[in-house]
């Protein structure tokens, strides 16, 4: 199972945004205010380090998350989607009046524990 | 009592259709002429338009701040204190107006803004007025001929980025120490709450010299970097989420400037058995202490969002707490009887709802709430959510992630050691609470929680004079204390020799 995927609407938004702004990256945020949102940034804007996990790519864009945060979240699968409203923090909007969101497909039972401890 | 909505007849808030940036003591239109709509979370309808600024507007604000910085930096502490005290007086004399504006824009109940946000904002300016007047520097006698003098000097121009949960109070936390220490500031309010701080600027803008205080509104993705990465700022302060916090540190590294960051928490609130040793006022206070997770509808970095209840009192204590939670009145934030208003935005509402789903999918038990609240009437489209309680264990995501809403995750513990183990099993370290009648345990557990602020037999008090800030990923630096003057100052050392003789090296 891929750790991160995107809905069709999100992939289309990424393609439109990339055409307008150039290559992009996603970083899953945490903490205060809009902390659960995926931050969409120009590619390379966020300096990743050894503590960051490359979850995968969506529409050709790398998606990162802090590895400790990933262990705490032990998500089954993250799904990047699109919703109306302004983005949080320094994230780019997903288009006029739109922002990216992260949804979770929860995996329960022993598999979830295994995934949580194996990352 | 119910206050009229801004824009309606009888409102204590004068509302214009459109607001500009506040730069150099004047209202300045954004360079590109774009504006964005600011919504009222209680109705999901527009309040007004504000500037949708671009990097050019940040540069204009920085021009003004740099023009003002030398003169402001030279003003005496007495003069800066006079200005801060005048700001405090102006906030006090416009308390109702500011309370209603902040309540309407954020969604927080006006009973909180009237009694907490606005009076605390005023007090914050008075505290730093006093702190800077009383600030002394140190002189060290190195030897009989050599003296080290230490002076505080302003950093110059600072950038400050404000969160949406306390649009005026968090601004006061940042503006007061920056100005007290002799700096000029350029402020970016949260995209979701740009208006009430502009109402504050209407009230206090004339008190500070032009260019000392500048406010530029707009999306973080468009102007955040223009401010935080700007080589013309000498320090950056930010409250918000972790990825933007790291970006800000990264930009600060590129410019070699200091940062202060406050990035949230997942604060444990620990209730030991002895809180139920008597049925008295203290037990009543402890029950309220648990229910304080609903303060500001849970949109607080230090929200006591994890309740740890000793197992032998769990049933009896939670029975009382759930009864109290059931009495929370949700509705019009401008009604002084309302205890919980709407969440700040549709985005927040959707996120909170999704966390409840995640909690239930992971096996948590729903003890209260769990759904969008239907307030009806003119508030039918507002972003209201029921006060919610989930029972589970600390490895669940609802115990690990900051939900930033009225969602309490509750679990039990056997003894003190287990309480601390659960409390500290988190990436965050901003706040915590300890409730016990045992004084020694209160100190022991309070010291044992790895967090910058632990409330003992109280919660959610934010007096100026008590340092506030995070351990672990919750941030760097402290606020609400005179040590902030250090965060906003350079230290100048003059090392002076009285000796008439050469060293003899050359």
Quick check: A118 pLDDT over 50?
no
Beta-carbon separation of A85 and B474 below 8 A = no
Q: Contact B140/B148 with Cβ under 8 angstroms?
A: yes
Q: Is the CB of residue A86 less than 8 Å away from at least one CB of chain B?
A: yes
**CA B331 – CA B108 distance, rounded (Å):** 10
Q: Whose CA is closest to B179, among B68, B90, B263?
A: B68
Specify whether the CB–CB gap between A18 and A24 falls below 8 A. yes
B195/B20 Cα distance (integer angstroms) = 10
Instruction: Give B303's contacts (C-beta < 8 A, 6+ positions apart).
Output: B265, B267, B293, B295, B402, B404
Using the beta-carbon criterion (under 8 Å), do A66 and B346 form an inter-chain contact?
A: no
Of the candidates B220, B241, B362, the beta carbon closest to that of A32 is on B241
Burial bucket for residue B193 (CB in 10 Å: 0-12, 13-18, 19+): buried
Does residue A110 have a pLDDT over 60? no
DSSP code, position B292:
G
Contact A31 B351 (CB under 8 A): no
* Cβ within 8 Å, pair B220-A89: yes
By 3-state DSSP, what share of chain B in percent is helix, strand and coil, each rounded to 5? 40, 25, 35
- The predicted complex's ipTM stands at 0.92
| B428 shares contact with chain A (CB less than 8 Å) | yes
Angle at B334 between CA B330 and CA B337, to 5 degrees: 50
Contacts of A103 in chain B (CB under 8 A): 354
Sorting pLDDT into bands at 50, 70 and 90, what band is A33?
Answer: confident
Best of B167, B241, B250 to substitute, by most chain A Cβ atoms within 10 angstroms, is B241
**How many CB atoms are located within 10 Å of the residue B316 CB?**
12
Contact B173, B124 (CB under 8 A): yes
CB contact under 8 A, B347 and A34: yes
Distance CA B157, CA B129 (A): 19
**CA of B220, closest CA in chain A: separation in Å?**
4
A100 near B CB under 8 A: no
Tell me the backbone φ, ψ of residue A36, rounded to 5 degrees: -95, 5
A89 touches chain B (CB under 8 A): yes
Active site residue B303: no
Best of A33, A47, A104 to disrupt the B interface by mutation (most B CBs within 10 Å)? A33
pLDDT at A111: 43
Q: How far is CA A59 from CA A14, A83, B221, in A?
A: 7, 17, 21
Nearest to B163 by CA among A98, A91, A102, A34: A34
Options B20, B49, B202, B262, the catalytic residue: B262
In a mutational test of the B interface, the residue from A21, A24, A31 whose CB has the highest number of chain B CBs within 10 Å is A31
Q: For B370-395, give the DSSP string.
A: -SB----GGGTTS--B--EEEE--TT
Rounded CA separation B264/B427 (Å): 10
C-alpha distances in angstroms, B37 versus A116, B19, B191, B352, B378? 42, 10, 10, 23, 19
Q: Would you state the pLDDT for residue A76?
A: 81
Q: What is the SS3 assignment for B308?
A: strand
Q: Active-site residue B262, yes or no?
A: yes
Confirm or reject contact between B105 and chain A (CB < 8 A): no
Strands (E) in B41-93, as ranges, are: 45-51
Contact B190 A33 (CB under 8 A): yes
CB B207 within 8 A of CB B80: no
The Cα B138–Cα B491 span in angstroms is 11
The mean pLDDT values, 10 residues at a time, for chain B of 506 residues are 97 98 98 97 98 98 98 98 98 98 98 98 98 96 97 98 97 98 98 97 98 97 95 97 96 97 96 98 98 98 98 98 98 98 95 96 97 96 98 97 97 98 97 98 98 98 97 96 96 97 96
The Cα–Cα gap between B129 and B181 comes to 10
Contact of B18 with B34, CB cutoff 8 Å = no
Phi, psi of B502 (to 5 degrees): -70, 165
Give me the mean pLDDT over the A18-31 stretch: 96
Residues with Cβ < 8 Å from A50, sequence gap 6 or more?
A: none
Q: Do B351 and A46 touch (CB under 8 A)?
A: no
Judge contact between A62 and A25, C-beta under 8 A. yes
Exposed / middle / buried, residue B319 (Cβ in 10 Å: 0-12, 13-18, 19+): exposed
Is B35 near chain A, with CB under 8 Å?
no
For residue A106, the model assigns a pLDDT of 76
The pLDDT assigned to A113 comes to 37
Which of B136, B152, B139 lies closest to B495, judged by CA?
A: B139
Reported confidence tier of residue A109, pLDDT bands at 50, 70, 90: low
């Amino acid at each position: 199972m891929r750790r991160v995927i995107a809905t069709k609407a999100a992939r289309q938004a990424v393609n439109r945004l990339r055409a307008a702004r150039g290559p992009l990256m996603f970083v899953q945020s945490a903490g205060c205010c809009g902390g659960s949102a995926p931050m969409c940034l120009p590619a390379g804007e966020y300096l990743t380090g050894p503590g960051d996990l490359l979850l995968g790519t969506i529409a050709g864009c790398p998606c990162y998350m802090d590895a400790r945060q990933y262990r705490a979240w032990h998500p089954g699968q993250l799904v990047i989607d699109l919703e109306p409203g302004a983005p949080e923090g320094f994230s780019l909007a997903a288009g006029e009046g739109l922002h990216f969101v992260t949804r979770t497909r929860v995996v329960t039972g022993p598999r979830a524990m295994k995934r949580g401890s194996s990352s | 009592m119910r206050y009229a909505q801004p824009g309606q007849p009888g409102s204590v808030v004068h509302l214009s259709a459109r607001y500009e940036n506040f730069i150099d003591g004047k209202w300045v239109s954004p360079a590109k002429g774009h504006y964005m709509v600011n919504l009222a979370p209680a109705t999901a309808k527009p309040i007004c338009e504000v500037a949708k600024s671009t990097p050019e507007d940040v540069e204009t604000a920085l021009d003004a701040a740099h023009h003002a910085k030398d003169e402001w930096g030279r003003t005496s502490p007495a003069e800066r204190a006079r200005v801060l005290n005048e700001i405090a007086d102006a906030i006090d004399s416009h308390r109702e107006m500011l309370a209603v504006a902040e309540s309407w824009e954020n969604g927080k109940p006006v009973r909180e803004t009237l009694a907490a946000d606005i009076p605390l904002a005023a007090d914050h300016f008075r505290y730093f007025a006093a702190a800077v007047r009383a600030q002394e520097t140190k002189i060290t006698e190195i030897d009989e001929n050599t003296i080290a003098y230490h002076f505080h000097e302003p950093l110059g121009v600072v950038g400050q980025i404000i969160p949406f949960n306390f649009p005026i109070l968090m601004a006061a936390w940042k503006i007061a120490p920056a100005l007290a220490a002799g700096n000029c500031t350029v402020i970016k309010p949260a995209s979701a709450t740009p208006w009430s701080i502009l109402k504050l600027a209407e009230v206090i803008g004339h008190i500070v010299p032009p260019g000392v205080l500048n406010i530029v509104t707009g999306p973080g993705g468009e102007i955040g970097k223009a401010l935080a990465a700007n080589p013309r700022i000498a320090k950056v302060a930010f409250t918000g989420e972790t990825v933007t916090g790291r970006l800000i540190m990264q930009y600060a590294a590129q410019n070699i400037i200091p940062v202060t960051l406050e990035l949230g928490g997942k604060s444990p609130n620990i209730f030991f058995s002895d809180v139920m040793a008597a049925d008295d006022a203290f037990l009543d206070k402890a029950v309220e202490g648990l229910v304080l997770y609903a303060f500001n509808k849970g949109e607080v970095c230090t929200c006591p969002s994890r309740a740890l209840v000793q197992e032998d009192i769990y049933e009896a204590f939670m029975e009382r707490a759930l009864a109290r939670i059931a009495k929370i009145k949700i509705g019009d934030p401008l009604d002084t009887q309302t205890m919980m208003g709407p969440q700040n935005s549709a985005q927040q509402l959707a996120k909170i709802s999704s966390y409840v789903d995640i909690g239930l999918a992971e096996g948590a038990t729903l003890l209260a709430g769990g759904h969008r609240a239907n307030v009806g009437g003119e508030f039918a489209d507002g972003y209201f959510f029921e006060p919610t309680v989930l029972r589970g264990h600390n490895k669940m995501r609802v115990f690990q992630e900051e939900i930033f809403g009225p969602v309490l995750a509750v679990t039990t513990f056997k003894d003190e050691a287990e309480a601390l183990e659960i409390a500290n099993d988190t990436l965050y370290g901003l706040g915590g609470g300890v409730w016990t009648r045992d004084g020694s345990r209160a100190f022991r557990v309070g010291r044992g929680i790895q967090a910058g602020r632990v409330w003992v037999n109280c919660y959610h008090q934010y007096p100026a004079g008590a340092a506030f800030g995070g351990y672990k990923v919750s941030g760097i630096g402290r606020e609400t204390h005179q040590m902030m003057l250090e965060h906003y100052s350079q230290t100048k050392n003059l090392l002076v020799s009285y000796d008439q003789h050469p060293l003899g090296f050359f």
